[in-house]
Chains A and B, each alone.
Chain A
Amino acid sequence: DQQVKQNSPSLSVQEGRISILNCDYTNSMFDYFLWYKKYPAEGPTFLISISSIKDKNEDGRFTVFLNKSAKHLSLHIVPSQPGDSAVYFCAASDFGNEKLTFGTGTRLTIIP
């Protein structure tokens, strides 16, 4: 049972445009969400997070939106740059749980 789903395995976006990566979850107990970025042959690196008490969190070019009623979150990257080409993983945890549940990832390719 995949509790965190990233339904788009890949996404291509023109440089300078907006990239929108989506993530859906089924466990209503999840209350903290993170996005990780992964380059080939490297470990994932933390990008941005959001608590369920918020519906938006911004960090430079990256913004995460959370819609609790729809159990959906999205990562917006504006403007997209070639260095953003990577695999992006969505992850979630619930209160009292020390573990993260990861989605299957979306490969983002920025076209120059």
Chain B
Amino acid sequence: NAGVTQTPKFRVLKTGQSMTLLCAQDMNHEYMYWYRQDPGMGLRLIHYSVGEGTTAKGEVPDGYNVSRLKKQNFLLGLESAAPSQTSVYFCASRKGGARYNEQFFGPGTRLTVL
């Protein structure tokens, strides 16, 4: 049981390049989330999904797109990377049903945009 995994762990991009971050969970969780963590800013929600085929915007969605084609995967895309998107990105998932289920986080992806 690997929990939540994220690919890649590190990436360096040039301004204007695109990339996709992959999040996978093997806990059959309904909900999945993408956050970014910046110094002094805590964790901020980018996009989230309450089920396969559905996505919604979080607090800081601009410049990002997401897809949830399979229940176990949640992809985060950057179409044209900007230096402001340099951050550590965390994916999380949680079980549906009762709302008091905690979120389980992946190990993070450190992205640098030059």
Contact = CB atoms under 8 A, between A and B. Distances in A.
A41 to B, nearest CB: 7
B48 interface: yes
Interface residues of B, number: 24
- Interface size on A, as a range, is 20 to 34
Given A98-B48, A104-B41, A41 B107 contact: yes
Interface string B49-68: 01000000010000000000
B interface secondary structure, majority: strand
Contacts of B100: 32, 49, 51
Interface string A35-52: 010000111111001010
Interface of A: 4, 6, 9, 32, 34, 36, 41-46, 49, 51, 89, 91, 93, 95, 98-100, 102-105
Interface of B: 4, 31, 33, 35, 40-45, 48, 50, 58, 90, 92, 99-100, 102-108
